[in-house]
Each structure stands twice: as structure tokens, then as C-alpha cells.
């Protein structure tokens, strides 16, 4: 790209007697870059199972708590959603119900009734396991949860049995 | 009328050119000096011319001394002091004295004699004598008219001149005897009274004490002028047949010239030796309150032209004289003005344009006004213009007006005397400076025109060049033979087909006449500036004049060497050569000039090499000269701050031009250098048309709140190499 010298001349008088004025020209490289963003949100992000009998179960299916959860890829790349459960203050997370041991399962589309959790549901652990892979940026992925209370317990207070969903590239 | 410098009068100049800047042209009126403190009576001092300068240092004032003798005083130190009077005659009844110097006559360049003519009262005779200037002596006087019945008085008039054929012509008249009014001619051996014969049959003058002047004209003839007091006219008649015959009739030059009964010696004249033109001045209504003035006229050999008045509406003008600068053609008038009888001052005015206009009055006397009665100039000189003035009943005083030295044109009057401005205006010094330099008078030297934007293609410029006259007399530009050239403009710095515009004079001192600047191509490639107006472009002693012209370069301007050349009044001067630099277009393009890194992980790298985006960039020298490429990056708007390495909110952007890969070096083992917000060198010495590949690498911040697409732009700069 050529530039005519005239604009430069406007600034020259101050330098008349100092030195030659070096002309110059510039070219640009227009570079764009976007930082990789891995982000997830879960809606509505809150489940109130209520009071259950020991060895009882309750899910988020429409027939029960009716509170299906949705994981949303809020990042700018395709993500894998992982999920992890947690031991509550009085109950230990396990694969099945036991003495002061509860279980918590997740299920994607296979669980259309509470009974389906027995075979299609996956028990949460305290380690991440894949919830769903290859969730496109902006895509959402619904999932249901089912909680199973201990077969017997000494703790009858309300327990926070939180679940965490993680997004990874 | 063109007044030309006579090259025979050239002084050796040589290196004087260089030093002339240090030499003052005129003394700023040093204190006046006394030529003789006790001279003869009032009427005896009337006749003019009566002062001769034979060189810049030696002058003669001829006068009637206090003892009644005709005498002269001489200075040999430029008027700084004057010797005691030397008698021309021992007679003590010298009434008045007229003089003519050999070299005042056109064509005479070697004569050394001051011819004198006077009348005395005891015998009532008229005498011729001379002063041999080179030996400072006077031979015995010779009575050339001893007619009986004469009765000469101090109020009677005498005049003498030397014709261009070498004959001496004397005119004299007494107020008592008409027969004694005569014009005598001596063709040779004028120390023999018999050779002084009456010229023609009707040379008689009247007896009314009309003031008379004889001046030489061409072909050996002479002009006789008189102030015909009774008729209030200035008249002349011309001799014929080599000064041996005279017509009876007088011809009017000016009428209505009211005379004073007290100050009658108010017709003065001088001769331009190069043209034989006669310059005349006369007083009009001298001593007439409020209406006195000086009028002037020029006789060109056939007719009179009335020129302008150096003094008008002056209420105390009482005396005048005229002088001619033989080097430049400047004309001087001196005159007395003030309170008559007590506080009369001496003034002079100068005309640079053949008496068409006059400079302002400058006072000559330095001791304050007194009872001045007569003033004298040395009529024609190429050495000095000097004024003497008579203080009534006492002394003759003197002071220098101008020390004349040959014009000395120089192209080196001051620093930056040559400039080129980008401008469409003929305004000295205006516009955007393209370059400037300091010319010298050494054509073998080459200087550089620098300091500005240089010369671009297709652009209008004005060239300013300043010329100085380092000599002691005026240089005048008029007509085709006087010119200022800028040599090697076309096919040089302005390109092969530049468009020449108008030109102008920067009239330093506002002393130019009616001028018209004309610029035209000369000798194909030179710009020639001439003055085609009716007046002169005047460059007075030690003064400068600016010459400027407009020109539009074509599309192929080129760095080139040119110089200034001038010939003014037959004096030539070439300047040093000056290299005028072409403005080389600096231009760079980038290709493809776009890099889309896409989404890059925080702290991760992505580059344009073949292993990355495979989008190597190119910087291309599209200019007219070798360039250096510089490169810089920038922070993004959000921002990501450009840094040497990625960090929280900081990103890195790097460039590479070297490595071990192919097809581009950076395709393997790239050497990355972090961009900064300041320029750093990308590539030096990039030839015209060269394409320099380079790769870029981006590293987003380690953490950021800015996940939108960021413009991480890179700028590549080209500057002239080196």
C-alpha cells in the first residue's frame, strides 16, 4: 500500500533544521484469536427429594420429583460432561443402600420410569465418571437422578447429597 | 535604457569574492572633514563641476582660495584628510574656476588631466590651465582671451569640457561686454593660446549672467546648456561639425523654471560614459517657499526625456549637484535644504533606475546645519561619490557618500540561501520545505540540499535562491542579457518533463523598479529567470535579492545535481553544485495480511507455520528504495495485554523469520521473538520488490475474562534503508 507523503509533511516544520525526515509506511496483519472456554451450567441445579423411608428411592422423573436436570455447554468448544456424587454429612455414598449408606444414580434417556434406574441408571461415586461425551458448544444435555436412602440409619436429619457436573474439553 | 557595467573597470576580484561579505560597502557617514577652512568669497565658489576623483583614494577639490588664488586641495586617503591648497595660479584675483577631467569624457580611459578655466579681474582675461593628476602639479596658466573691454566679475560664468574627439571647449561670458561671451575650441596643443579659436559663427552667449554648462556628446560635438534667467527656461544647443559650428537658436528643455536672484547656479549635468547620455538636474523656484524642487531629464543623443523629481515642494532648497556612478549607472543628487543662512543641511538621494524613482533623503553633513551655500559632487566616477559643500565666508567641507567598488555577485550571502518548498505560491520562504542548502561560489564543489521532505513526483514546488551583491555599487537586472539560471532542472531533479510555472523577485530592500519576472526554459534543461519589465531589479551594494520560480515535477523526479548561474550587468557567477534529493516512496504491503488463529487454549500456542495454520505472512517492499522492515504487536481491546509470555490477562505474540525449515525457515526449529508494542527489526536491507516471509505465533493468556475473539493485530513498518 502506498502512502503519499503529504500527511507527514504537516509535522515537518519543527524538524526542518534538525535532520532529514525519514518517510515510512506500514502494513498490517489482522490476526484474531479466541481463548478456549470450557464452561457448563446445570439447570435448575436444585432437587428436593423430600422425606423418604429407609431403603426408599425417588427420582427426578416426571412421575416422581419431576425435576429433570439439564447440563448446558456454555463454552466455545465441544465438551465432555462428567458427573460425581458426594457423601453427605450423615450418609456415605455407595453403590447400593446400606447402614448409613445411600446411593445416587444418574440416567440419561434410558430411564423413562423409576424402575429403569435399576438397570439403566449408573451409580454415582465420589469420582468423576462420564455423564455424556461430545456436547457441542451451546448444546444441552438432560439427565435424571435417583436417590436411594440407607437401609437403616442413625441420621434422620435432612442430608445434602450434592452432585457435581464437570465439563472438560 | 540599459546601463551596462564596463568590464574594463573590473577590479581584480579573485578571492575577494569570498571576503566581500566582511567588507562594508559604505561608511555610515563618518564625520565630515574640512577640505579648506579659509576659502574665497561666496560668488567665487559657484561653478560646477569643481571636484574630481581619479581613484577610490585620491580626489581633488578645485576652488578659489582665501587669498584669491585658484587652487586645489588633494586627498589621498579617500577623503579622510585633505592637503593644504596648491595654487593653480599665483594670481590673486581669480574670480571663479571651472574644471573638466579627461576621464569624464566618453571614450577617454587614460587621460590624467584636470582642465581648468577661470577669469581674473585685474586684466579681465580668461585663463586655461590644468592639473596633472598623476604628478599632482599644475603647469603655467595660459590666457586664452585677452580681449580689451572685458570686465569680469565673480558673478560671471565660465565652463569647460573635453569633447569626444579630444578637443577642449571653453565657454565664458562677462556681464558687461557681449562680444566677450564666447565659446572657444582647442583641438590640440592647448598650451598655445593661438589654438583656442572661436567655435563657429554664432557661439555668443548673452550677457545676463545666465549660468552655462558644456558637456560632451557624440561625434566630437558638445552640448551647451544654460539657465535662461529672464525667460525662466532651461535651454540647450548642440554644436555641429565636431564642435566647430553652433546654431543660433536655443531649444527649451523645461519652461516655467522660476529662478532665484540669489541662487542661480542650479543647473547641473553629467555624462554616462557608456552611452553618452546626459543626465541633467535643475532647480525650480529655488528658495521659493514651499514650491522649490529639483527636476531632472535625460538626453539620449537626440531628444530629452523629463524624468522624476528627487525633491519636490521643498521650501528651503538652495543648491544642488548631480553625480553618476560609472559602475552601476546609479545617479546621485545632492542638495542643500534647511533654514537659509543658518541651518542648512546637505542631503543626497539616489536613483537606481535612470532617475525614474529616487531613494529617501540621507543627510551627508554630520556637524549640524550651518550657512551652507553651495554643494558639489564629483560628476562621474567609478570609484567614489563624494560631496563637498561650501559654508559661507568660511570653509569647504566634505564627506563620503559611496565607496564604489565593482559589483561582486555571490551565491553565498547566508546560510540556507537555496531552498525548495512544496508550494503553489510565489511567496518567499512559504510552503513546506522540500530541502535547502548553502550554496557557495565554487562550482567545483557539491553540496547537499537537505532537511526537508525531498522531491516527490508530480508535485509543485517553488525554488528560492538568494543572490547578494558584495560589491560597492548597484547591480541591475533588466532585459534578456541579464538572467538568473537554474541549471539542470529538466531531465534532472524535476524529471524529464516538468511543468515550469511563474517566477518572482523577492525585493529585499523594496528598491526594485517596475519589474516583470519571466521564467522560461533555456538551453533545453535550464530555468532562466529574466526581468522583462520596464524597471530594474536592483541589488544595491551589500544587499540581496531573492529569485524564485514555480515548477511541478513530473512522474520521474530523480536525485540530481544542479547549480545556479547568473549574468547581471555582464558579471557572471556560478554557484556550487547542489544535489537535490529525490523523495523515494517508501511502501510496504503485507500478504495475505490475515491470520485467524481460531480458538486457542489458555496458555497454548498456535502459529502460522506449515505445522500450524500454514498461513505464513509476507512483507513486500513496494517502494522505490531498499527498506528496513520493523514489526510490532499490540494489546487487544478487551484487553489481553501483550507481554513476553502468557500470564493472567497477558498474552504473547511472537514472530519468526529464521529456523531450519522449508519452504520457510520457520517451518522447523523456528526462532521466535516476542512482539512488543514498540517496533523491532523484522528484516533489514529489503530490496525493492523483495518479499520477506515471516510467521506468527500466539499464546493466549493463562487465564482471562475475555473469551470473545480478540484482534491481536500486528503492524509491519517500512523505513528507508539504511
Cα–Cα distance measured from residue B158 to residue B335, given in angstroms and rounded to the nearest whole number = 22
CA distance B526 to chain A (A): 27
CA distance B484 to chain A (A): 27
Give the structural domain span for B218: 26-403
Q: What is the gyration radius of the CA atoms in chain B, in angstroms?
A: 39
Per-residue pLDDT, B26: 36
CATH of the domain at B37: 2.130.10.130
Domain end residue (candidates: B580, B612, B636)? B580
Mean pLDDT in residue range A92-120: 96
Same structural domain, B83 and B227: yes
Cα–Cα distance measured from residue B625 to residue B582, given in angstroms and rounded to the nearest whole number = 11
Residue B6 belongs to a domain: no
Same structural domain, B374 and B520: no
Q: Give A1-45 pLDDT, tens digit per residue.
A: 333 232 222 232 333 333 333 478 999 999 999 999 999 999 999
The answer to whether A2 contacts B720, with C-beta atoms less than 8 Å apart, is no
B650, pLDDT greater than 80: yes
Assess: ipTM above 0.90.
no
Residue B14 belongs to a domain: no
Per-residue pLDDT, B201: 67
Same structural domain, B281 and B229: yes
Cα–Cα distance measured from residue B39 to residue B22, given in angstroms and rounded to the nearest whole number = 39
A24 contacts in B (CB within 8 Å)? 586, 717-720
Same structural domain, B611 and B571: no
Residue A116: enclosing H or E segment and its boundaries?
helix A116-120
The answer to whether B595 contacts A36, with C-beta atoms less than 8 Å apart, is no
Residue B206 belongs to a domain: yes
Residue B18 belongs to a domain: no
* Contact present, B27 and B296 (Cβ < 8 Å): no
Domain end residue (candidates: B580, B602, B637)? B580
Residue from the list B593, B696, B700 with its beta carbon closest to the beta carbon of A35: B700
Same structural domain, B277 and B200: yes
Q: Inform me whether the C-beta atom of residue B533 falls under 8 Å from chain A C-beta atoms.
A: no
CATH of the domain at B527: 2.60.40
Q: Which domains does chain A carry?
A: 40-168 (2.60.40)
The pLDDT confidence band at residue B22, using thresholds 50, 70 and 90, is very low
Mean pLDDT in residue range B306-319: 87
Q: Give B243-267 pLDDT, tens digit per residue.
A: 888 888 999 999 999 888 777 778 9
Same structural domain, B616 and B716: yes
Instruction: Give the per-residue SS3 of A31-52.
Output: EEEEECCCCEEEECCCCCCCCC
Count of A-B CB contacts under 8 Å = 150
The pLDDT confidence band at residue B316, using thresholds 50, 70 and 90, is confident
Instruction: For cell 509476507, name the residue.
Output: B618
Cα–Cα distance measured from residue B215 to residue B231, given in angstroms and rounded to the nearest whole number = 22
Per-residue pLDDT, B208: 67
Same structural domain, B241 and B96: yes
Q: Give B404-429 pLDDT, tens digit per residue.
A: 988 899 999 899 999 999 999 999 99
Residue B4 belongs to a domain: no
B302, pLDDT greater than 90: yes
Cα–Cα distance measured from residue B325 to residue B273, given in angstroms and rounded to the nearest whole number = 10
Cα–Cα distance measured from residue B105 to residue B220, given in angstroms and rounded to the nearest whole number = 10
Cell of residue B181, nine digits = 561671451
Domain end residue (candidates: B362, B378, B403)? B403
Per-residue pLDDT, B174: 74
Q: Give B502-532 pLDDT, tens digit per residue.
A: 999 999 888 898 999 999 999 999 999 999 9
Tell me how crowded residue B225 is: count the other CB atoms within 10 A of its CB: 26
Instruction: Give the per-residue SS3 of B545-573.
Output: EEEEEEEECCCCCCCEEEEEEEEECCEEE
Residue B309 belongs to a domain: yes
Per-residue pLDDT, B299: 98
Per-residue pLDDT, B265: 77
Mean pLDDT in residue range B330-345: 92
Q: A interface mutation test: which of B607, B707, B720 has the most A CBs within 10 A?
A: B707
Same structural domain, B513 and B601: no
Q: Inform me whether the C-beta atom of residue A53 falls under 8 Å from chain B C-beta atoms.
A: no
Residues listed for chain A: 169
Tell me how crowded residue B438 is: count the other CB atoms within 10 A of its CB: 17
Same structural domain, B147 and B284: yes
Mean pLDDT in residue range B327-335: 94
Residue B1 belongs to a domain: no
Total domains present in chain B: 3
Same structural domain, B148 and B173: yes
Same structural domain, B191 and B290: yes
B3, pLDDT greater than 50: no
B635, pLDDT greater than 60: yes
Q: Give B113-162 pLDDT, tens digit per residue.
A: 999 999 999 998 999 999 999 999 999 999 999 887 778 888 888 999 99
Per-residue pLDDT, B242: 83
Among chain A residues, CA nearest to B591: A29
B315, pLDDT greater than 80: no
B584, pLDDT greater than 60: yes
Q: Give A42-73 pLDDT, tens digit per residue.
A: 999 999 999 999 999 999 999 999 999 999 99
Q: Give B381-396 pLDDT, tens digit per residue.
A: 999 999 999 999 889 9
Q: B interface mutation test: which of A29, A36, A73, A138 has the most B CBs within 10 A?
A: A29
Per-residue pLDDT, B585: 84
Residue B525 belongs to a domain: yes
Q: Give B205-247 pLDDT, tens digit per residue.
A: 766 678 899 999 999 999 999 998 888 999 999 998 888 888 8
B329, pLDDT greater than 80: yes
- Judged by DSSP in three states, A9 sits in helix
Same structural domain, B115 and B179: yes
B181, pLDDT greater than 90: no
Amino acid at each position: 500500500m502506498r502512502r503519499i507523503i503529504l500527511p507527514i509533511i504537516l509535522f515537518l516544520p519543527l524538524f526542518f533544521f534538525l535532520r532529514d525526515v525519514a518517510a515510512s509506511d506500514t502494513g498490517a496483519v489482522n490476526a484474531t484469536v479466541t481463548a478456549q472456554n470450557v464452561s457448563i451450567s446445570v439447570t435448575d441445579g436444585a432437587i428436593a427429594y423430600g422425606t423418604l423411608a429407609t431403603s426408599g428411592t425417588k427420582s427426578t422423573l416426571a412421575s416422581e420429583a419431576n425435576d429433570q436436570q439439564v447440563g448446558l455447554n456454555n463454552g466455545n468448544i465441544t465438551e465432555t460432561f462428567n458427573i460425581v456424587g458426594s457423601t453427605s454429612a450423615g450418609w456415605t455414598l455407595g453403590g447400593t443402600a446400606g447402614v448409613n449408606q445411600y446411593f445416587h444414580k444418574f440416567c440419561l434417556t434410558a430411564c423413562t420410569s423409576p424402575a429403569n434406574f435399576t438397570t439403566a441408571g449408573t451409580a454415582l461415586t465420589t469420582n468423576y465418571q462420564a455423564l455424556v461425551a461430545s456436547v457441542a458448544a451451546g448444546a444441552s444435555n438432560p439427565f435424571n437422578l435417583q436417590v436411594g436412602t440407607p437401609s437403616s440409619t442413625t441420621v434422620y436429619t435432612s442430608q445434602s447429597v450434592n452432585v457435581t457436573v464437570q465439563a472438560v474439553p | 535604457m540599459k546601463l551596462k557595467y564596463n568590464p574594463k573597470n573590473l577590479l581584480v576580484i579573485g578571492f575577494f569574492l569570498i571576503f566581500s561579505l566582511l567588507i562594508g560597502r559604505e561608511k555610515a557617514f563618518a564625520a565630515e572633514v574640512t577640505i579648506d577652512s579659509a576659502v574665497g568669497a561666496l560668488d567665487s565658489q559657484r561653478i560646477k563641476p569643481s571636484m574630481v576623483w581619479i581613484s577610490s583614494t585620491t580626489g581633488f577639490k578645485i576652488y578659489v582660495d582665501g587669498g584669491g588664488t585658484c587652487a586645489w586641495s588633494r586627498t589621498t586617503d579617500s577623503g579622510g584628510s585633505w592637503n593644504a591648497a596648491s595654487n593653480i595660479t599665483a594670481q590673486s584675483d581669480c574670480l571663479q574656476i571651472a574644471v573638466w577631467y579627461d576621464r569624464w569624457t566618453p571614450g577617454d580611459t587614460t587621460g590624467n588631466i584636470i582642465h581648468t578655466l577661470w577669469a581674473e579681474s585685474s586684466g579681465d582675461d580668461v585663463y586655461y590651465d590644468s592639473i596633472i593628476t598623476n604628478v599632482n602639479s599644475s603647469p603655467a596658466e595660459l590666457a586664452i582671451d585677452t580681449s580689451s573691454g572685458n570686465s569680469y566679475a565673480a558673478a560671471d560664468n565660465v565652463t569647460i569640457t573635453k569633447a569626444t574627439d579630444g578637443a577642449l571647449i571653453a565657454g565664458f561670458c562677462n556681464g558687461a561686454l557681449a562680444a566677450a561671451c564666447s565659446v572657444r575650441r582647442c583641438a590640440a596643443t592647448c598650451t598655445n593660446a593661438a589654438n583656442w579659436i572661436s567655435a563657429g559663427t554664432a557661439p555668443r552667449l548673452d550677457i545676463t549672467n545666465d549660468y552655462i554648462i558644456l558637456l560632451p556628446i557624440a561625434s566630437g560635438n558638445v552640448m551647451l546648456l544654460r539657465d535662461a534667467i529672464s525667460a525662466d527656461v532651461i535651454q540647450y544647443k548642440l554644436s555641429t561639425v565636431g564642435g566647430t559650428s553652433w546654431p543660433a537658436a536655443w531649444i527649451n528643455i523645461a519652461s516655467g523654471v522660476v529662478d532665484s536672484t540669489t541662487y542661480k547656479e542650479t543647473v547641473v549635468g553629467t555624462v554616462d560614459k557608456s552611452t553618452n547620455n546626459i543626465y541633467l538636474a535643475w532647480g525650480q523656484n529655488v528658495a521659493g517657499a514651499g514650491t522649490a524642487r529639483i527636476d531632472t531629464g535625460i538626453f539620449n543623443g537626440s531628444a530629452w526625456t523629463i524624468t522624476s523629481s528627487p525633491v519636490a515642494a521643498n521650501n528651503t532648497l538652495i543648491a544642488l549637484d548631480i553625480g553618476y556612478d560609472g559602475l552601476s549607472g546609479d545617479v546621485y543628487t545632492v542638495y542643500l535644504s534647511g533654514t537659509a543662512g543658518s541651518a542648512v543641511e546637505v542631503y543626497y538621494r539616489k536613483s537606481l533606475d535612470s532617475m525614474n524613482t529616487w531613494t529617501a533623503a540621507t543627510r551627508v553633513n554630520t556637524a549640524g546645519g550651518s550657512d551652507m551655500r553651495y554643494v558639489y559632487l564629483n560628476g562621474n566616477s567609478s570609484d567614489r561619490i563624494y560631496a563637498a559643500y561650501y559654508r559661507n565666508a568660511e570653509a569647504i567641507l566634505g564627506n563620503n557618500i559611496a565607496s564604489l567598488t565593482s559589483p561582486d555577485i555571490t551565491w553565498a550571502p547566508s546560510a540556507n540561501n537555496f531552498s525548495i518548498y512544496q508550494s503553489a505560491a510565489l511567496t518567499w520562504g512559504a510552503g513546506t520545505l522540500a530541502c535547502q542548502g548553502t550554496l557557495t561560489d565554487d562550482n567545483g564543489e557539491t553540496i547537499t540540499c537537505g532537511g526537508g521532505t525531498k522531491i516527490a513526483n508530480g508535485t509543485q514546488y517553488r525554488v528560492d535562491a538568494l543572490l547578494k551583491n558584495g560589491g560597492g555599487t548597484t547591480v541591475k537586472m533588466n532585459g534578456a542579457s541579464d538572467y538568473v539560471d537554474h541549471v539542470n532542472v529538466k531531465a534532472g531533479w524535476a524529471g524529464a518533463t516538468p511543468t515550469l510555472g511563474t517566477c518572482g523577485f523577492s525585493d529585499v530592500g523594496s528598491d526594485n523598479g517596475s519589474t516583470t519576472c519571466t521564467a522560461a526554459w533555456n538551453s533545453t534543461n535550464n530555468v532562466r529567470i529574466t526581468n522583462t519589465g520596464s524597471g530594474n531589479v536592483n541589488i544595491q551594494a551589500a544587499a540581496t535579492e531573492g529569485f524564485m520560480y514555480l515548477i511541478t515535477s513530473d512522474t520521474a523526479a530523480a536525485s540530481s545535481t544542479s547549480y545556479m548561474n547568473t549574468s547581471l550587468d555582464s558579471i557572471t557567477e556560478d554557484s556550487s553544485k547542489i544535489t537535490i534529493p529525490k523523495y523515494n516512496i517508501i511502501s510496504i504491503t503485507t500478504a495475505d495480511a490475515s491470520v485467524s488463529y481460531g480458538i486457542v487454549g489458555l496458555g497454548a500456542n498456535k502459529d502460522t507455520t506449515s505445522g500450524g495454520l500454514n498461513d505464513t505472512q509476507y512483507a513486500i517492499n513496494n517502494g522505490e528504495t531498499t527498506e528496513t522492515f520493523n514489526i510490532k504487536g499490540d494489546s487487544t481491546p478487551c484487553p489481553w495485554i501483550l507481554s513476553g509470555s502468557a500470564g493472567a490477562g497477558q498474552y504473547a505474540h511472537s514472530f519468526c523469520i529464521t529456523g531450519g525449515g522449508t519452504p520457510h525457515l520457520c517451518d522447523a526449529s523456528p526462532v521466535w521473538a516476542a512482539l512488543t508494542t514498540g517496533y523491532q527489526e523484522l528484516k533489514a536491507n529489503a530490496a525493492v520488490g523483495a518479499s520477506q516471509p515471516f510467521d506468527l505465533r500466539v499464546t493466549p493468556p493463562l487465564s482471562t475474562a475475555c473469551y470473545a475473539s480478540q484482534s491481536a493485530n500486528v503492524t509491519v513498518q517500512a523505513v528507508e534503508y539504511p
